[in-house]
Amino acid sequence: MNDAVLKPSELPYDVDAYRADFPILSETVHGKPLVYLDNGASAQKPKAVIDAMRGAFEHCYANVHRGAYDFSERTTAAYEGARETVRAFLNAKSEREIVFAKNTTEAINLVAHSFGRGLLKAGDAVVISEMEHHSNIVPWQMLRDEKGIELRFAPISDEGELLMDKFAELLDEKVKLVAITHVSNVLGTITPAEKIVDMAHAVGAKVLFDGSQSVMHMPIDVQALDCDFYVFTGHKIYGPTGIGVLYGKEAVLDAMPPFLGGGDMISSVTLQKSTWAELPAKFEAGTPPIVEAIGLGAAIDYISGIGLERIAAHERDLLSYAMQRLAAVDNLRVIGTAPNKTAVISFAMGEAHPHDIATIIDQQGVAVRAGHHCAEPLMHRMGVVGTARASMGLYNTRAEIDRLGEALDKVNAIFG
């Protein structure tokens, strides 16, 4: 077959061509080519996203939903078009099930407020795990302290896997929600989402997945998964900051009271009372992140054009190569060795503090994360104060992994 008739997703994976789509990857740091390995915190942006956002600002910017003039109608169409892009990306049944928030944290807090405060009562239980990001811990602690719900914690193994037998022991008729990460931001562990849903639904509990670390690494089908909520954030999926997504089953969202009050989330307002707009507007009070949503839609179109399965295969190769390469670095210990994981490697090195590791290798142009990664309970569980974390994306290469290994040798040269 002639290459000219192949879809982009059918062509060989050309990482150099994809790298060329990201202007920032041509930058230098301390006189050395940038090696960006902090994608788990925030991924870089392709030109398609930058152009889509710039185009919205330069050519048709206006507020949405309320203007009876050309710019407003065009911007509204682009904003709602981004919602349809997200719907198709997750395979949700309806755009009514796609709520825009400013990030994952806000989306989880929306559920904690509207589902938790609105529908749960004292004595009901919520189950989370030991490997959660703070954004999937703190809102439930606040709900526990305010409403008297019970908060239960599913333990993990030393390798970083969810202990499913222990998880099963936590489930009973008191559990109304299981809120759990789909992929750990520290360990890269992929949790057994289908089993979690089946087990939780068997006791009548709803299920929320934090998909912040999963949607850029693997296809997500919320109907096949049958979860009740799924949340993710735009800036980790090669889109802008300031935009996130809450997917919720329509019947569940319909039963929940609004999160915020104000414009656009109402059907009518009098001085005596207000009535609410239909989904998803009920949960989108005020002027929304218009251009950010357009940027998110462009980011999803970009990675969909490459193909998530192809991205996943590339990242699996990088992970395998990186595990082998880092095994040759003296004094390095990987934290989180679950066999089913994404291209995230957290590690410690002897007496070197994670911040020292990151600072030293930054001088070699290599960017990694250092600290507790907003997962302090997980750090305590794994017996470390923090880790350095290399998180890979669609544009990273084996050569960059070699650069990481060479930079870490500099750490050993200093700390021994």
Which residues on neighbouring strands pair with residue 154, listed in sequence order?
Answer: 129
* Strands 150-154 and 387-391, bridge-based pairing: unpaired
Q: 0.85 cut: is pTM over it?
A: yes
Residues 340 and 391 in one domain: yes
Residue 292 counted as domain residue: yes
Residues 14 and 59 in one domain: no
CA distances from 317 to 43, 339, 343, 366, 398 (A): 19, 14, 9, 20, 9
Residues 270 and 319 in one domain: no
Of the three residues 304, 326, 343, the one that is the final residue of a domain is 304
Residue 184 counted as domain residue: yes
Residues 85 and 187 in one domain: yes
Number of domains in the chain: 2
Residue 40 counted as domain residue: no
User: Is residue 154 a contact partner of residue 162, using CB atoms and an 8 Å limit?
Assistant: yes
Residues 111 and 247 in one domain: yes
* Sign, Cα dihedral of 336, 393, 138, 96: negative
| CB neighbour list of residue 396: distance below 8 Å, 6 or more residues apart | 15, 36, 37, 39, 318, 343
Residues 11 and 141 in one domain: no
What's the CATH number where 241 sits? 3.40.640.10
* Sign, Cα dihedral of 163, 168, 170, 171: positive
The yes-or-no answer on residue 60 being catalytic is: no
| CB neighbour list of residue 380: distance below 8 Å, 6 or more residues apart | none
Of the three residues 271, 304, 337, the one that is the final residue of a domain is 304
What's the CATH number where 325 sits? 3.90.1150.10
Of the three residues 284, 304, 324, the one that is the final residue of a domain is 304
Give tens-digit pLDDT for 356-389.
Answer: 999 999 999 999 999 999 999 999 999 999 999 9
Residues 340 and 296 in one domain: no
Q: How many CB atoms lie within 10 A of CB 356?
A: 16
| Exposure on the CB side of residue 244, measured as CA atoms within 13 A | 23
Query: Tokens standing for 201?
Result: 């639904």
Residue 39 counted as domain residue: no
Residues 285 and 314 in one domain: no
Residue 42 counted as domain residue: no
User: Is residue 231 a contact partner of residue 244, using CB atoms and an 8 Å limit?
Assistant: yes
Residues 324 and 299 in one domain: no
Per-residue confidence (pLDDT) for residue 66, from 0 to 100: 80
Residues 318 and 236 in one domain: no
Query: Considering only CA atoms, which of 189, 190, 188, 187 is closest in space to residue 335?
Result: 187
Residue 279 counted as domain residue: yes
Query: Tokens standing for 327?
Result: 């095994």
User: Is residue 201 a contact partner of residue 207, using CB atoms and an 8 Å limit?
Assistant: yes
Q: Which of 15, 29, 252, 374 is catalytic?
A: 374
Which residues on neighbouring strands pair with residue 341, listed in sequence order?
Answer: 189
CA dihedral in degrees (5, 21, 213, 223; nearest 10)? -30
* Strands 344-349 and 366-367, bridge-based pairing: unpaired
Residues of the chain with pLDDT under 50: 1
Residues 263 and 386 in one domain: no
DSSP characters over 157-200: -TTS-B-HHHHHHH-STTEEEEEEESB-TTT-BBP-HHHHHHHH
Domain range for 25: 3-33+307-415
Angle subtended at Cα 74 by Cα 71 and Cα 76, rounded to the nearest 5 degrees: 105
Residue 38 counted as domain residue: no
Residue 41 counted as domain residue: no
Residues 208 and 352 in one domain: no
CA distances from 9 to 14, 153, 185 (A): 11, 41, 27
